[in-house]
Chains A and B, each alone.
Chain A
Amino acid sequence: MWAILWKDLLLELRTKERVSSLFVLALLIILVFVFALTPEQLKQPAFGSALLWVALVFAGMLGIQRALILEQERNCFTGLLLCPIDPGQVFFAKFLSNVFFLTVVEAVVAPLTLALLGLPFSVSLLGLPLVLLCGIVGFSALGTLCAAIAVRTRAREIILPLMLLPLLVPLFIAAVHVTGALLAGEVWTGTWFRVLVAFDVIFVVIGWLTFGFVVQE
């Protein structure tokens, strides 16, 4: 499992294509929203948090898809399955590498977004990274599972968002609310945060258990 994870990270270190393209894409999405909203709206924490998550979800979706298309094109899944390892471990390797890439991208995009929108850094120094990480974990778990299904179909670019977005509804609502409360300086560790954590736990377990059914030949 660590070998697969290490291979993914090494590949990315050599080319740096995934992180850099995701970074630019996330910035572009934020830019589109900035043009669409008025300056007063941009100052509101609710819009800031929605913007952060829209950028993360859409950029992340393409990133996860890219990662699994690479595997599929080189027939790596078949190779991985020939190895005497549990498919659950393959899932964890893919999942962790996606978490890693999105965290790297978000580490740059999130502060940049706050700065661009003029939202305060001080209130969110500890909470924001934690909330972002929770969101990324849930997103990557479900995303890895759905992308593994989507890459083996025709029209894989369209079928991934169709599957993933409705299933992500709870994560998205919870994450936007937690982040909004965080940015507004309110209490954020309430029910919404628990929903977010529950989503993470449930879909990491589900992904681990069902990944074998998706990748077996």
Chain B
Amino acid sequence: MDGVRMNTVTSRSGLADSFLPWLTCVAMLAALAMVFLYVPNERVQGEVQRIFYFHLPSAWMAFLGFFIVAGASAAFLWQGKRSADLLAQAAAELGMVFCSLVLLTGPLWARPIWGVWWTWDPRLTMTLVLWLIYAAYVLLRVFAGDNETVARYAAVLGIVGVIDIPLIYISIRLWRGIHPKVEQMAPEMAWTLLVCTGAFVCVFTWLLWLRLRSLHLRDEIRALRQHLVAAS
């Protein structure tokens, strides 16, 4: 019965539950130590540049979230598996969290360096549009309730969003010219960035796992409840 399914979820969660939090903690501590103790100051920007080591990994996680949403949405429309839909939902929420982090840390970096909180630079604009698409996706889930049909709507929106991204990127680049990229990095900086990215991947995966598990649990509770009501 349903109890059997519940067991499989809990046994699968055993490894991830004991392993992931510790890994995340260690990675995060290492990342913080490297950002504050190990890496030298950037010559021009000084200390503020250290924001970069959390800013850029956040941006990558936001993109990662979007790709997971798109992949899971496509898998859901293709095979109709509930777990793919739940994965898309969890990844969208996390993508939005990390996209918010990019948008919050970005201005805190821009203010001392450029003297303004915000410029309509292509990447900033792109991130903002991305955040808005995420917001629409999450709100669609909220407004459309939680039945089978909403899963299909959200999947279609997720796919449309991802197809739109290259177009948005091209048009925004054309609109505002090309922004200089990150130049040659000192090896210390590259290592710090790598460790920070690793730490962010851990945080992302852990939170994704927690959220996914709670979504699965909600599904199972709902199934049990229906089962009970039907039996009584």
Contacts and interface: CB of A to CB of B under 8 A. Distances in A.
A167 B77 contact: no
Nearest to A192: B174
Interface residues of A, number: 33
A20 interface: no
B143 interface: yes
B170 A159 contact: no
A191 interface: yes
Given A154-B145, A173-B172, A167 B140 contact: no
A165 B135 CA distance: 12
Nearest to A166: B132
Contacts of B155: 213
Interface of A: 142, 145-146, 149, 152-155, 158-159, 162-163, 165-167, 169-170, 173-174, 177, 191-192, 195, 198-199, 202-203, 206, 210, 213-214, 216-217
Interface of B: 77, 129, 132-133, 135-136, 139-140, 143-145, 149-150, 152-153, 155-157, 159-161, 163-164, 167-168, 170-172, 174-175
30 contacts: A149-B153, A154-B144, A154-B145, A159-B136, A159-B139, A159-B144, A162-B132, A162-B135, A165-B132, A166-B132, A167-B164, A169-B164, A169-B171, A169-B172, A170-B168, A170-B170, A173-B171, A173-B174, A177-B175, A192-B174, A195-B170, A195-B171, A195-B174, A206-B159, A206-B160, A210-B77, A213-B77, A213-B155, A213-B156, A214-B153
